């Protein structure tokens, strides 16, 4: 698998939580979805990314077509994954969250439903425009919005599920923890039946 000189580096962390504070908890229709921006691709979808770089007749030392501030494609793709622990902890400590969804491999369409009970659906009405890196991937790949949203994070790295009456306080705590950009992503609604997608996009990816 590995050529001479190649290596793989992996790490992990372990946490603990009281059983009565495990999320998701009491997720219900009417809860609001807040989105926090990602810092880039976040190490997901790289099998496709490699193919797209090759398809565009580029390599990792090429000038980056989506980021003029990065020296090369490789530099941009190695942007560290954003961590959300510090900004989410104040909300967790105040028990303001009914759920959290980390948008990793599988994108918004596959990760958000893992935090939802079967009787609610998510209506996404405020998805932000695609960051440049994802716009480039979409153009080169020819993927439609649905496939982009189940392959990449598309600019949303974390989704917070909160009750409607604490949205303003939740935003204030997030800003106090350094989150300048918070997206009003959508709302949870009662689900009719169990067929079809549990995440419904009401806005297009720009």
What's the pLDDT tens digit per position in 144-202?
Answer: 999 999 999 999 999 999 999 999 999 999 999 999 999 999 999 999 877 778 999 99
The pLDDT tens digits for 9-50 are 888 888 888 999 999 999 999 999 999 999 999 988 889 999
Q: Tell me the average pLDDT of the chain.
A: 94
Which residue from 30, 159, 206, 177 is spatially nearest to 94, judged by alpha carbons? 177
Please identify which residue in the block is written with the tokens 């980390």. Answer: 102
Strands 97-102 and 199-201, bridge-based pairing: unpaired
Tokens of 10: 């992996």
């Amino acid at each position: 698998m590995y050529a001479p000189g190649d290596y793989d580096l992996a790490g992990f962390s372990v946490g603990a939580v009281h059983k009565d504070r495990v999320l998701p908890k009491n997720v219900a229709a009417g809860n609001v979805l807040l989105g926090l921006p990602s810092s880039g691709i976040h190490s997901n979808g790289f099998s496709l990314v490699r193919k797209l770089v090759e398809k565009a007749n580029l390599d990792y030392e090429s000038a980056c077509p989506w980021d003029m501030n990065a020296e090369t494609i490789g530099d941009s793709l190695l942007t560290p994954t954003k961590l959300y622990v510090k900004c989410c902890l104040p909300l967790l400590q105040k028990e303001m969250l009914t759920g959290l969804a980390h948008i990793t491999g599988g994108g918004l369409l596959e990760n958000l439903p893992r935090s939802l009970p079967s009787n609610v659906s998510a209506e996404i009405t405020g998805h932000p425009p695609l960051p440049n890196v994802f716009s480039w991937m979409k153009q080169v790949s020819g993927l439609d919005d649905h496939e982009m949203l189940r392959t990449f994070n598309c600019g949303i790295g974390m989704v917070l599920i909160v009750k409607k009456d604490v949205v303003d306080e939740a935003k204030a705590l997030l800003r106090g923890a350094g989150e300048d950009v918070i997206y009003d992503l959508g709302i949870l609604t009662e689900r009719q039946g169990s067929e079809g997608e549990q995440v419904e996009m009401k806005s297009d990816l720009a």
